[in-house]
Structure 1
Amino acid sequence: MKTEHIKTTDSNYTDLLRSTVRSIEPYVPILPFEVLADNLGRPIEEIIKLDANENLYGPSLLVRDALADLDYPHIYPDPENRALRKALSDFIGIPSENIFAGAGADEIIDLIMRLFIDQGDKIIDCPPTFGMYSFDAAVNGAETVAIERKDDFTLDLEAIVEAVSVYAPKLLFLTSPNNPDGGLISDQELHTLLALPIIVILDEAYIEFAGIENSRIDWVLEHENLIVLRTFSKWAGLAGLRVGYGAFSVGLLKELWKIKQPYNVSVAATEAALVSLDDSVNLLQVVSEIRSERKRLSQMLSELSFVFPYPSHGNFVLCQVKGISALELHQALSAEGILVRYFDKPRLRDHIRISVGLSHHTDVLETILSRISTE
């Protein structure tokens, strides 16, 4: 039987796409180091990268050796991540049965969406905040009910409670410390939100910089509707290896296991995470140094007449810019090889966010900002 070749056009392929995909814009991440260097016409070593909240101290010194000595890179990783979950259990103090490892917290966010979201469902997020929540919601066919934060970036609890009543959303995404401002959610606020008929996802990507005592990860043992997310990207300096984890109630995690890809965390990422946990004392000392540098950076910024920093519990400082446009300041710093984050969004167009770098990065930034202030 002869089968005729069917000619197709681009429009035919487009017609086959999910309707939700056709209507969304792609997520816009920070450009890779090499591309940034090329765009600025500078070698990588002359660029001070303070735009993505990466840990510029880097990973544990033991990580490179561990990756060079991987025993079985040709064998698929453990689909249940047993060794990593056991090490995480010892590190954070909750049973491994409550822990799920992922290829970065981003993978877990997407899995949570796929676990709960049907076409047309709703979620709540509280902008300004991490953009991945609303992006993943759109990809999975959900509508985001955005409850704007107050002028001081605290949560509008009354508006959230009302939105849950009116829209019946399934998921509420919170970040503590929040990105981009670095504010923490209080125990009272979280208790109020956990009493609502909704799954609360608390993203603690930056919690180590706030002090681990501010974590609510053990609350999942008492609240079945709470999920807490963490990552190795920030405190452990493993952003390039993509490994994160989440804490869930046992019942909820049982459902999540049904939909995960079997080999989601690579052997390299797993080994780097295990070594980082073994070397956590040294890494947390680096976190302490970053917190000290954050204080120094904030003090330096507060002494400038055109930059007004917000208090932060993350490894970054959000600043309101006055007397000069934030975009112009961003461009002026870029021209000097210093990359900071500018947000092209109405609420943040007069703001920049500066990641905490090494001590000499702060020194260079201070010199250039002082020069700009006199121009």
Structure 2
Amino acid sequence: TRLLRPELRSLEPYQALESPEQIAARYGLDPARLVKLDGNENAEGPSPGALAALGAVTPHRYPDPEQRRLREALAGHLGVGPEAVVAGAGSDELIDLVIRCVAGPGDRVVVAPPTFGMYAFDSRQAGAEVVEVPRREDWSLDEEALVAAARGARLVALASPNNPTGGVAPRALIESLLESGALLLLDEAYIEFTKERSMAPEAASGAPLVVLRTFSKWGGLAGLRVGYAAMPPELDARLMVVKQPYSVSVAAEAAALASLGDRALLDERACALVAERDRMARALAETGWLRPHPSSANFALVEVTGTPAGGAPTGDAGRRLYEALRRRGVLVRHFETARLQRCVRISAGRPGETDALLGAVAEVAASGELEGTEGER
């Protein structure tokens, strides 16, 4: 490791999802029968048009390095010019690209945890200092502290809606951050599940703003890895120079273009997922020992506030529920951070998947396995 840059020698790995096959093997389950509610994927999958487009790709040819058709289509979708749009292999590539181009050793990047871990992960890889402005107890943003931190920073990364807490950033805060002197990286990965207006036009008009979007959630293309961003044209031009030329595959491009032609259907599916999220949240709240926090995305952060028998929750209550559901073939997400120890994040799924989740929760409650002792808290 002596040949590595110093900041990379102790870098902790990003905690990505474990594959369904690994989980099934560990618990002796059938992978085909797992209820996957851990990745915030769109359970309906790609649109019919996207599936048809995938069958017509020519995989032996390289994609267009200039992304001309895709950038034109994305620009029309966002209401901006194509010179302000870049596509990438998921928004993850674009997060990494923007941070590497803007922040380096000695620079500060501000994040508001708990939030998507990729912002801090990529910033540390770039050698930047990560400045954390923790969210309040109700998961709202500490707006005054965030703006103050931004004034001495190179970049501020903010998700709206936020993952994993589900809240939307106030527009007034965004405006204040745009006046702070830092570049604002605004992640709108879940905006299609809200009624919020995108800030993409402001980014394209030259504000110190990069707006991230993705086809992983709304479009059901998580496995194809295609995201996009709107930004000032001058920054866009430099990113097109720095980025890998063929990072968006011909399959991903074809599916993304077709998805834009199926917007009405995908919007209907997004509304159905929101309705299913709300049904799930109501049912979990009725247990009396689970508390879903308000969410504007296709998931809910659920806090274990007690035990099914009426006792106080153990300190590791979130992990215990996560493991108990896994043993029953229902996959949810748990985060190994202090403030989320009693929480799990549950993605909205199809009605049958919600029913399976609720059935598994009832089984866990009846089993008594979440009942802990005072010494375990």
Shorter chain as normaliser: what TM range? over 0.9
Alignment match of 1:334 (pick from 326, 329, 332): 326
Partner of 1:147: 133
Alignment match of 2:35 (pick from 27, 48, 61): 48
Matched, 1:218 2:205: no
Describe how 1:52-201 pairs up with structure 2 within 5 A. Answer: 52-70=39-57, 72-165=58-151, 168-201=152-185
Partner of 1:361: 353
Aligned-pair identity in percent equals: 44
Matched, 1:301 2:267: no
Q: Is the 8 A contact 1:330 1:342 kept in 2?
A: yes
Q: Is the 8 A contact 1:304 1:373 kept in 2?
A: no
Q: CA deviation at 1:322?
A: 2.0
Q: Is the 8 A contact 2:330 2:360 kept in 1?
A: no
Q: CA deviation at 1:223?
A: 4.6
Q: CA deviation at 1:140?
A: 0.9
Q: CA deviation at 1:187?
A: 1.3
Which SS does the other structure have where 2:175 is aligned?
helix
- Deviation string, structure 1 residues 163-205 (Cα, Å, up to 9, x no partner): 234xx21000000000011100121111111110100010000
Q: CA deviation at 1:221?
A: 3.5
Partner of 2:239: 256
Range that drifts further, 363-372 or 188-197: 363-372
Partner of 1:20: 7
Q: TM-score, normalised by structure 1?
A: 0.93
What is the distance in 2 between the residues matched to 1:15 and 1:309? 46
State how many pairs are aligned.
358
What is the distance in 1 between the residues matched to 2:204 and 2:108? 26
- Label 1:281 to 1:219 Cα distance change in 2 as closer, same or farther (>3 A): same
What is the distance in 1 between the residues matched to 2:183 and 2:210? 8
Describe how 1:300-319 pairs up with structure 2 within 5 A. Answer: 300-319=283-302
Q: Is the 8 A contact 2:100 2:123 kept in 1?
A: no
What is the distance in 2 between the residues matched to 1:266 and 1:372? 43
Which SS does the other structure have where 2:63 is aligned?
coil
Q: Is the 8 A contact 2:166 2:294 kept in 1?
A: yes
Structure 1 runs of 4+ off > 6 angstroms? Answer: none
Q: CA deviation at 1:255?
A: 2.0
Q: Structure 2 unaligned runs (5+)?
A: 307-312, 369-377
Q: Structure 1 unaligned runs (5+)?
A: 1-13
Q: Is the 8 A contact 2:206 2:232 kept in 1?
A: yes
- Deviation string, structure 1 residues 24-78 (Cα, Å, up to 9, x no partner): 11112001222222222111221101111111111112323322221x3212111
